[in-house]
Amino acid sequence: MKYPEIYNKEELQLFERMITTEPVNIFDDIDVKTGSKNYVLITDERDENDKDVVIAVGSGEIGTYEGGEDYVLCEMELFDLYFEEGFTKIKDETFAGKNIVYCLLPESMEELGEYSFAECCKLESIIIPDGLKYIRKSAFVGCEKLKQINLPSTIETISEDAFSGCEKITIIIDKPKGSLAGAPWGADNAHIVWEEAEGVYITDDGEELFEFYGDDKEYTIPDGIKRIRSQAFSGSKLEKITIPDSLEKIGFFAFENSPLKEIIVGKGIKKMDPWAFGRCQYLTKVDIPFGVETLNGTFTRCTGLESVTLPGSIKKLEGRVFGGCCSLKELNIPASVEEMEGECFSFILKDGETESKIERLVVDENNKNFVSENGVIYNKDKSRLVCVSTIGGKSFTVPDTVKSIDRNAFGANLNWEKIIVPNDVIIDDNEHTCVDSIFQNINIDYVEIPASMFEKKRRILYECKIKKLVIKGAVQNKERIRQISSFCKIDEIIFE
């Protein structure tokens, strides 16, 4: 028996265990070369997903015949369908209504006849190798569980209503847009993805780049594309990307973990989703165009990033937008910013070794919501401490005006000599308060904290290295404070 080369090792091992003593003859054609009748083999055991396995044996065209044993497949609850290499066509209605869950066609298959898999309501996946040329009328009509199908470049014709009743199916076609007439071939709400050029898939409307799978190191996105889908370039080999003015949105993780060194950004960008450029460690400079209003975790762990230009349209900075950007030397916050939080400026890595290179952290003097002094950012009346860096020195005392401190407020730098939080600081229960920890993943020689802070929050310190921790004020439960501090490595705790 000759199996298709695309079958994997596990599938071939399964076939070797097939019961062959009683083949089931459901097909009507005889191979003119060998004279042997086509038939199927059925396992006497179920696979790990509680399905039977059926193999079509023979060659040429497949089609059921009157008086054949077609009822055998009709009575099977669930089964996967495989083919021996050599079959070229599935004739009309051959597998219509069968409880096929998974189907793998041979490379020799060229044509799927009318209604060949019609009303296969259990069909979830069908693998079509290169070689298939024709999909005839209503071939997959009513296959409501079929959510995605990949069609090879060899496809020449897809007939009307081929996918009728396949609700919200994604059809990925390895051909240029418009090369096949009749899309979406009867499928309601279908998502059609065309291969625009080698290595790129673009949606049927020409507005969304769906996937980049090429090996190119440089790529220019075609003009007219409005969106880059999530993870479209993730893990690619791209070092340079040019984005047209037509592009409006970059999706989640779109370029995550890519070796990008240069981004030429068009003027039309309005939105960059979280982690859009996360872990792009070779990226050194980014100029964000006017029009972007929110950044949330966009450049997390871009460890080589040295310069970022924020436009005057930015209103909100959220999450670890520059988290782990340890090479960032300068950051200017424009007057337009209305909301931001301490985690945005946690430049250090969590390895406990890599210090950030921040030298300048400034809020525009015309900003109505925030103010900066020597690398420290407050809200306008200084009642809220957003971020502290060591630009003004490695020792810092929280001013008496401060009533709340942001989570990870001291994450801009790794190494501190002394931090003092006075007794009269109250940690308010609001969205800007230290929900988890004020101090995270930093090294402090000496830190002084009021006992009242430990009473209100579960955790003030997290994964820090501290030489001396001084707890000021009345302490109701010393053991509880020790438990809370167990998240850190602390050489000495003193209660005063």
Lookup result for tokens 């021996």? 84
List, in sequence order, every residue forming a beta bridge with 60; answer none if it has no partner: 87
How, if at all, do strands 461-462 and 439-440 pair?
parallel
What is the per-residue pLDDT for 340? 95
Q: What count of Cα atoms within 13 Å lies in the side-chain half-sphere of residue 87?
A: 30
The answer for residues whose C-beta is within 8 angstroms of residue 176's C-beta and 6 or more apart is 194, 195, 196, 197
The rounded Cα 445 to chain-centroid distance in angstroms is 40
What is the per-residue pLDDT for 197? 55
List, in sequence order, every residue forming a beta bridge with 492; answer none if it has no partner: 468
Look up residue 318 and give its two tokens: 């959220």
First to last CA, the chain: 84
The answer for residues whose C-beta is within 8 angstroms of residue 168's C-beta and 6 or more apart is 147, 188, 189, 190, 191
What is the per-residue pLDDT for 379? 95
What is the per-residue pLDDT for 184? 84
Is the distance from CB of 81 to CB of 102 less than 8 angstroms? yes
What is the per-residue pLDDT for 22? 44
What is the per-residue pLDDT for 440? 87
Q: Per-10-residue mean pLDDT for the chain, 496 residues long?
A: 45 44 40 43 52 74 58 65 85 88 90 94 90 94 90 89 88 75 82 70 80 86 89 91 94 93 94 93 95 94 95 95 94 97 89 88 97 96 94 94 89 95 60 60 93 70 90 79 79 89
What is the per-residue pLDDT for 11? 47
Closest among 243, 236, 229 to 257, alpha carbons compared: 236
Distance CA 405, CA 417 (A): 19
What is the per-residue pLDDT for 6? 42
Does pTM surpass 0.75?
A: no
Distance CA 15, CA 8 (A): 11
What is the per-residue pLDDT for 64? 64
Element (H, E) at 485: helix 478-485
What is the per-residue pLDDT for 481? 75
Which amino acid, 165?
G
